[in-house]
Copies of this chain bind each other. A is one copy, B any other.
Amino acid sequence: MVKIKIKDLKQIERDSRRKIILHAALDLFAIKDFRSVTVREIARHAGVSIGTIYNYYPNLMELFLDVFLNSTEEITHMLDNMSKKTPPTLEQLCEFYITYLNDNMTFYQMMSHFMLGGELSHDASQKLDEKMKELMNRMETTLLATGLQTDSRLTAHALFSALNGIMISYARYPGKSDDDIRRHTLRLAKIIAGIFTTSSQ
């Protein structure tokens, strides 16, 4: 009994330290491109040693992936919370997602990175796909609620694609402020929502 408790405590401690590292990384991504963040920086920012980082992650990529997966989870949770009161309309879903992307550019950069070039271990790949599927489920649910009759899964993919694509087109617009970009990408999100809604009905 006592043993189990200690074990649990240890696990809790381990988890919390892991979270500290995670958030240290996240903090840094807010101020610079994640590809240029170094282990040393993360260690210093987290107040731990470099070696400790490697006690929690086999390599940097896995840490980055963990940050990404956590964001994906966060999005899913937030969507679920939204749904508790009233299921969101397609437009609300799109707005929410684009707002999240604007607030977390790193999330989008990482998605690009992992979905395209990322050399992921089989295990990591598995986890990634799982989280993505959960996110896709929420999109499909909303699409179905909108009245979509056929190909709901494919259409969810198309919607997901469309929303992600918005950032690629507008995240970097020369001479525009962050606010301009936010406003513009939201407008595009509404258009996408409108098109998918019309065509669903």
A-B contact sample (14 more), CB < 8 A, given A35-B117, A157-B188, A195-B196:
A33-B117, A109-B117, A111-B168, A112-B168, A114-B172, A158-B195, A161-B163, A161-B167, A161-B168, A162-B165, A162-B192, A163-B165, A164-B168, A198-B199
User: Is B108 a contact of A116 with CB atoms below 8 Å?
Assistant: yes
For A167, the chain B residues whose CB sits under 8 A away are 116, 161
Binary interface encoding of chain A residues 162-176 relative to chain B, with 1 for a CB under 8 A from any of its CBs, else 0: 111111111110100
- CB-nearest residue of chain B relative to A129? B174
Task: With both chains docked as a complex, state the minimum distance between the C-beta of A168 and any C-beta of chain B, in angstroms.
Answer: 5
Contact for A161 among B33, B151, B188, CB less than 8 A: B188
Contact A161 B162 (CB under 8 A): yes
Asked if B158 and A125 sit within 8 Å, CB to CB, the answer is: no
A-B residue pairs in contact (CB < 8 Å), sample of 14: A35-B117, A108-B116, A112-B168, A116-B171, A155-B195, A157-B169, A157-B170, A157-B188, A158-B166, A161-B167, A161-B188, A162-B165, A164-B164, A164-B165
A105 to B171 Cα, complex, angstroms: 21
State A192–B174 Cα separation when bound (angstroms). Answer: 28
* A86 close to B (CB within 8 Å): no
Cα A104 to Cα B135 with chains together (Å):
28
CB-defined contacts of A116 to chain B, threshold 8 Å: 105, 108-109, 112, 167-168, 171-172
| Interchain nearest-CB distance for A144 vs B (Å) | 16
Cβ < 8 Å to B, chain A residues 136-185: 151, 154-155, 157-158, 160-172, 174
- Residue among A118, A151, A158, A164 with most chain B CB within 10 A: A158
Report the bound CA distance from A90 to B155 in whole Å. 17
